[in-house]
Structure formats: structure tokens, C-alpha cells
Amino acid sequence: MPEAEAFRALFAGVDQLAPGTPEITRRIGKLCKLDKESVVLDLGCGAGRSSLLWAEEFRSRVFAVDVDSDCVGRLQEAARKRGLEDRIHTAIEEMQTYHYQDEEVDAVLSEGSIYLMGFENAARHYRQDLRWGGHFAATHLTYVGDVRPEVRAFWDAEGGPYCTMEENLSLLRQAKYWPVHHEVLPEEAWRAYYAPIVARIPALRERFAGDAEGLGALDRFAREASLQLDGGGWKEAAYVLYVARKM
């Protein structure tokens, strides 16, 4: 399918697949009190930018789950190069059915992937794997303040409609978590995600010339990046970090 092919070409080999910065990933580790004793799940780990940091800087044992074998392969390679093979364990599986069986885990974490399972669904489902007092943390698209109609229309059609921050905090409380932190990710987090992908678009337009579906996919991504960055959409359709403790 040309549209899927264009998306694959856009994202192939990219290390960062969602808004974020190493500082945010580090803050998640600190807020979740990760250390060398911690057992962590990274849901939708992608090429492993978060898993690698939690394993390297906090010495935690990370179980990284993703359906994409190419991404998981790149994470394994990076872990080997950094001498982290004993800290990072991978599974090519769907987060909806993955179950860590050996013991209770200290943290269930996900940067940019929880929408695939649903924020509330994931919080409720993975509560059973968390020890009492363990942390659930995710970065997730969230409507903040007065969202302009054009921003809302775009994101409603891109996997939405999304909840507000208050609604997500309330969902966490209803699922028996105690929210301990939430913050809107800065513009820099979106730039870090978009920049390398947007830079590929001119060459890909040539490759997909004459292919309406392929070009349509490229246009849609370019429109998203422009809406979020040039149009300031990142403040309204914001990426929010939520950290909550199981109670």
C-alpha cells in the first residue's frame, strides 16, 4: 500500500519516534525512583531511546516491548555496543497481550506509545503487574486549554478525540493511582522528534512522484509538523508527561 510505504520510508531507521528529550526521559527515571534494583517495562519501546537511558543511567533492568522487529533489532544492537545486554531484555509482542510473569514490576513506562492501547486501558491493565507503590508513567497527547478548531479537527482525525489533562488525571485516580506529577512537554521535545523526519520529505516527494497516496501521506505529516511547530499547536494538542503511583 503506497501510503503505508511512504510512512515506512519516513520513519525507517529513525531513533526518536515521539516527542521528547533525554531530559524528560531522565526526569521520568528520577520521578519513578529508578535504581539498579528496579524492574521496568518500556511499552512500545521503538528503537529504545528510553530503555537505553534507564538502563545506562539508573542501571535498571528494562523489559522493552514492541511489535516492530526492526526497531527491536536496533535496540539490541545499541544495547550490545553499550555493554547493556544484561540490563535490557526485549520482546517482539503487542503491549495489549504482553505479560511479565516472573515478579511484580517497579515501573510501567511508555513514551509516546500508550495511545496504541488507550491511556485508561493501559493504566488499568498494567496495574496488575505493578507492585504496590510502583509507578505508571506515560507521555500522551492531551488537549490543553482552548484548543483552536483547526487543531482539534486535525488531531480528532489522527487517533483522537483526545482527553484533557484533568480528564486523564481523573482516569488515573479512578484506576486507583495517585498522580504525583504532570507537565506539558516543551516545544523543543516536538522539534527533536520532527526535525530528522521532516528533513527527509523533499527527497521522498521525488521518490513518490506520481503516487497520489504516497504523496498524500507525506503531505499529512508535513502538515502535522507545521501545525504543531509554526502554528503553535504543540501548546494545545500538547504532549503531557503523567507520573502516578499505584495505591
Q: Which residues bind ligand SAM (CB under 6 A)?
A: 16-18, 20, 44-46, 49-50, 65-68, 71, 94-96, 111-113, 116
- Cell numbers 528529550: residue: 21
Smaller CB separation from ligand SAM, 38 or 90: 90
User: Shortest approach of ligand SAM to residue 44 CB, angstroms?
Assistant: 3
Smaller CB separation from ligand SAM, 199 or 209: 199
User: Shortest approach of ligand SAM to residue 20 CB, angstroms?
Assistant: 6
**62: β partners:** 40, 88
User: Shortest approach of ligand SAM to residue 194 CB, angstroms?
Assistant: 13
Q: Is 167 exposed, middle or buried (CB count within 10 Å of its CB: 0-12, 13-18, 19+)?
A: middle
Distance CA 1, CA 10 (A): 14
Residue ranges of alpha helices (H) inside 17-67 are 22-31, 49-57
Smaller CB separation from ligand SAM, 98 or 177: 98
Smaller CB separation from ligand SAM, 73 or 202: 73
Q: How far is CA 73 from CA 7, 46, 47, 61, 66, in A?
A: 19, 10, 8, 18, 10
**105: β partners:** 130
Write the DSSP symbol of residue 211: -
User: Shortest approach of ligand SAM to residue 15 CB, angstroms?
Assistant: 7
